[in-house]
């Protein structure tokens, strides 16, 4: 019996090593408990189950929300269904930032979804800033292997003291390892989680060639399965208190399994269209953390030039505090 028990434990650990940590099992939180409306008035609706949200962009305004707590590391996730049809100029952002506390030296970890003209795909852009290093963008852009407007798909950020990993449906699409050469450019201060929809007409689609056409409004992004699984930080004491099991889950998720690494490589070869590491128009010499693969650099050159924009500063003024604003209205998604 003891031999059988050891064998089963071994098989469990081996399967976890091969297949990797499963993000689908993370604890889901309710909107009322964990988030505050940031802007948008009636353009933010909370489903009656309290766990699903609808964000709308129309002629009046976009909309967004922010976590009540600051976090120093964790796993952050949402299942998102993006607006369909003509969506050029529309930006949906799922990101972490502390711009409300550190205006001149803020940190940021970004998942941005960039809309497109009819018949063209949505693209995803990932980026990080550390210590106000906004002059050194570390953007990557990719297409997806599915239509993100047809169904919900899970988008996740892992942030630890040594790794940042972006996941789509449990597949890692980008890994950033902290290196000595990055210095303070690796995000290291407590951050809040933000989700917004807004007008990025000046840059988001073909460098601003195609902007938002409000004839097709309202643009609606739907979110569910919201996850904040990490180490919340008291804004005054600045001491992190981790959720039960968060430390272990963070360590497990940052260890990319062999199976996941194969999938990540395939994704990057087939779907990545831009990497700052390969942009010689922007950086004559690659930033020090870059490992440039010649064949990849050659392939990505066909997509130059690329125009970038920043997430509008929709952060709350002053010190971060847990405070819930009233969400105007509830509606089925």
Residues designated catalytic: 108, 112
CB 64 within 8 A of CB 39: yes
Determine the Cα angle at 261 with ends 255 and 265, to 5°: 145
User: Half-sphere exposure (CA, 13 Å, Cβ side) for 73?
Assistant: 20
Neighbouring C-beta atoms of residue 287, cutoff 10 Å: 14
Measured distance CA(44)–CA(55) in Å, rounded: 5
- C-alpha closest to that of 79 among 229, 195, 225: 225
């Amino acid at each position: 019996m003891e031999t059988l028990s050891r064998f089963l434990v071994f098989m469990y650990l081996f399967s976890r090593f091969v297949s990797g940590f499963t993000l689908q099992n993370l604890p889901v939180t309710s909107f009322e408990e964990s988030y505050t409306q940031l802007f948008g008035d009636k353009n933010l609706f909370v489903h009656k189950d309290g766990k699903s949200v609808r964000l709308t962009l129309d002629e009046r305004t976009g909309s967004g929300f922010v976590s009540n707590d600051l976090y120093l590391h964790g796993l952050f996730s949402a299942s998102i269904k993006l607006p369909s049809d003509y969506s050029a100029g529309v930006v949906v952002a799922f990101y972490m930032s502390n711009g409300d506390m550190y205006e001149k030296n803020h940190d940021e970890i970004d998942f941005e979804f960039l809309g497109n003209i009819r018949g063209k795909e949505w693209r995803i852009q990932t980026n990080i800033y550390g210590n106000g290093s906004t002059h050194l963008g570390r953007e990557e852009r990719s297409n997806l292997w599915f239509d993100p407007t047809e169904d919900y798909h899970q988008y996740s950020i892992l942030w630890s003291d040594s790794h940042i990993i972006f996941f789509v449906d449990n597949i890692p699409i980008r890994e950033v390892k902290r290196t000595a050469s990055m210095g303070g450019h690796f995000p290291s201060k407590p951050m809040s989680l933000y989700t917004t929809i807004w007008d990025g007409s000046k840059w988001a689609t073909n460098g601003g060639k195609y902007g938002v056409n409000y004839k097709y409004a309202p643009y609606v992004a739907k979110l569910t399965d919201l996850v904040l699984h990490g180490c919340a930080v008291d804004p005054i004491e600045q001491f992190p208190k981790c959720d039960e099991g968060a430390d272990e889950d963070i360590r497990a998720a940052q260890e990319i399994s062999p199976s996941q690494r194969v999938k990540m490589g395939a994704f990057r070869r087939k779907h990545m269209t831009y990497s700052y590491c390969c942009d010689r128009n922007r950086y004559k010499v690659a930033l020090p953390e870059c490992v440039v693969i010649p064949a990849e650099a050659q392939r990505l050159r066909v997509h130059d030039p690329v125009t970038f924009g920043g997430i509008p500063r929709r952060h709350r003024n002053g010190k971060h505090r847990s405070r819930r604003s009233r969400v105007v209205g509830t509606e089925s998604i």
